[in-house]
């Protein structure tokens, strides 16, 4: 049965009455007044969502996708906790991972089409278990720690972030033993020219990246617009920055990358810069009386800010920090998973990631949507392999939290 979803031509009252779970999306995007009971009764029963969003300067299509993702996640909640969802059963190939919320639905549709064709041609049964990244990685971490031998692991993993895939108490121990084999990169998208994106040890594949950029509220800014990460770490930005601490993958990438370049002092400065933590969808427009002058957010969310007055999107001149979207493939199963791995790293998936999610793809056939001369801050494999990344994240987070909590 096809899931019924709202559209922007419906009234606000229609949407929240039929899909109460969407109220959380309005609240997260600082649109709480649109679902106020008095407003709904007096205005919301006539006001179309599209009209309200345009008046507020929000990208209608993007907000609509957030509503759809919330509804789908809520609808699938029972299935997510069901026992069948936690193992591959009698499947020949088990695929699991986290998909970025903005592109989860089109990616699932593309994967389903491929799996149907591959099953028909090969006779292999494939179990695909992809959940929204916003739900967290706890379930996949539990599976990893519950595994007694390598064969208990999924045959293919897909996820962003460093801590899950590099923890020596989890996936890291299997990787160090040579359990995974990276895809062969015939070429890398020229947008990443000069970066060492290919794992020299041949374990991890990167198929795309999540860049972090600045959204500057010119109304709140009392100094020069920050054009680099170094500028953002200066004293004039103390208690003026909103950081995506709830977006663990991206925030952890920020901690590691800034530590690599600026050391512990850089993390302390980052902690002192934070006014508050915000979900990227809040667009720097939180309910607190103090508004951030700068909001650090995934590049995707800049689409929602394009119509907001007095806001400037800054791609850092010294490079956007990136959180890679990794793929891990068990070497023992590569003879049967290779076509699926190549598909996930291919141009169809890459195009979905790059165009619908603004997650630049490493596939050379994909045309990424980037500003001219976009630069990157990439952690690099030397740093990744120089120690326990998961432990380092915890240590850096403690430094960050201590600096944030310190009295002014």
20-52: pLDDT as tens digits: 888 888 877 768 889 988 888 888 888 889 888
What would the mean pLDDT of 163-174 be, rounded to a whole number?
Answer: 84
The string of pLDDT tens digits covering residues 269-283 is 999 999 866 555 544
Domains (range + CATH), the chain = 12-78 (no CATH), 92-209+322-384 (3.40.190.10), 212-321+396-405 (3.40.190.10)
What would the mean pLDDT of 68-88 be, rounded to a whole number?
Answer: 52
Lowest mean pLDDT among 48-52, 112-116, 325-329: 48-52
Alpha-carbon span 350 to 357, nearest angstrom = 10
Asked if residue 218 lies in contact with residue 312, where contact means CB atoms within 8 angstroms, the answer is yes
Which pLDDT score, from 0 to 100, does residue 39 have? 87
Percent of the chain with pLDDT over 90: 52
Residue 85 has pLDDT above 70, yes or no: no
Residue 77 has pLDDT above 60, yes or no: no
Which pLDDT score, from 0 to 100, does residue 122 have? 93
What single DSSP character describes residue 183? P
Which pLDDT score, from 0 to 100, does residue 4 have? 81
Give the bridge partners for 206, in sequence order.
326
Alpha-carbon span 352 to 372, nearest angstrom = 21
**pTM, full prediction:** 0.78
The string of pLDDT tens digits covering residues 193-216 is 999 999 999 999 999 999 999 999
Asked if residue 73 lies in contact with residue 63, where contact means CB atoms within 8 angstroms, the answer is no
Which pLDDT score, from 0 to 100, does residue 23 have? 87
Computed over every residue of the chain, the mean pLDDT equals: 86
């Amino acid at each position: 049965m096809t899931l019924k979803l709202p559209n922007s031509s419906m009234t606000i009252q229609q949407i929240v009455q039929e899909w109460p779970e969407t109220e959380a999306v309005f609240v997260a995007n600082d649109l709480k007044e649109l679902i106020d009971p008095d407003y709904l009764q007096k205005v919301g029963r006539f006001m179309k969502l599209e009209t309200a969003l345009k008046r507020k300067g929000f990208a209608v299509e993007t907000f609509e996708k957030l509503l759809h993702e919330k509804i789908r996640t809520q609808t699938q909640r029972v299935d997510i906790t069901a026992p069948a969802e936690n193992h591959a059963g009698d499947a020949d190939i088990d695929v699991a991972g986290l998909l970025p919320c903005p592109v989860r639905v089109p990616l699932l549709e593309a994967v389903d089409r491929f799996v149907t064709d591959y099953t028909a041609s090969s006779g292999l049964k494939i179990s695909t278990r992809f959940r929204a990244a916003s739900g967290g990685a706890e379930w996949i971490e539990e599976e990893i720690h519950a595994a007694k031998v390598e064969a208990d692991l999924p045959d293919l993993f897909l996820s962003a972030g460093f801590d899950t895939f590099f923890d020596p108490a989890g996936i890291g121990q299997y990787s160090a033993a040579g359990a995974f084999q990276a895809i062969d990169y015939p070429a890398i998208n020229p947008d990443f020219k000069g970066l060492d994106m290919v794992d020299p040890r041949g374990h991890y594949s990167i198929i795309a990246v999540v860049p972090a950029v600045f959204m500057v509220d010119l109304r709140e800014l009392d100094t020069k617009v920050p054009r680099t990460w170094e500028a953002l770490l200066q004293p004039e930005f103390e208690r003026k920055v909103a950081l995506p601490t709830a977006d663990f993958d991206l925030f952890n990438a920020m901690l590691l990358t800034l530590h690599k370049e600026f050391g512990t002092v850089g993390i302390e400065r980052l902690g002192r810069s934070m006014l508050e933590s915000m979900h990227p969808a809040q667009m720097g427009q939180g309910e607190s009386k103090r508004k951030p002058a700068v909001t650090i957010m995934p590049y995707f969310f800049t689409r929602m800010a394009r119509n907001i007055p007095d806001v400037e999107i800054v791609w850092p001149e010294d490079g956007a920090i990136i959180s890679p979207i990794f793929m891990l493939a068990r070497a023992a199963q590569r003879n049967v998973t290779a076509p699926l791995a190549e598909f996930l790293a291919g141009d169809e998936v890459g195009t979905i990631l790059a165009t619908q999610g603004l997650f630049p793809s490493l596939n050379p056939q994909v045309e990424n949507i980037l500003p001219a001369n976009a630069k990157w801050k990439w952690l690099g494999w030397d740093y990744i392999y120089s120690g326990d990344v998961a432990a380092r994240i915890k240590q850096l987070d403690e430094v960050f939290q201590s600096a944030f909590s310190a009295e002014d």
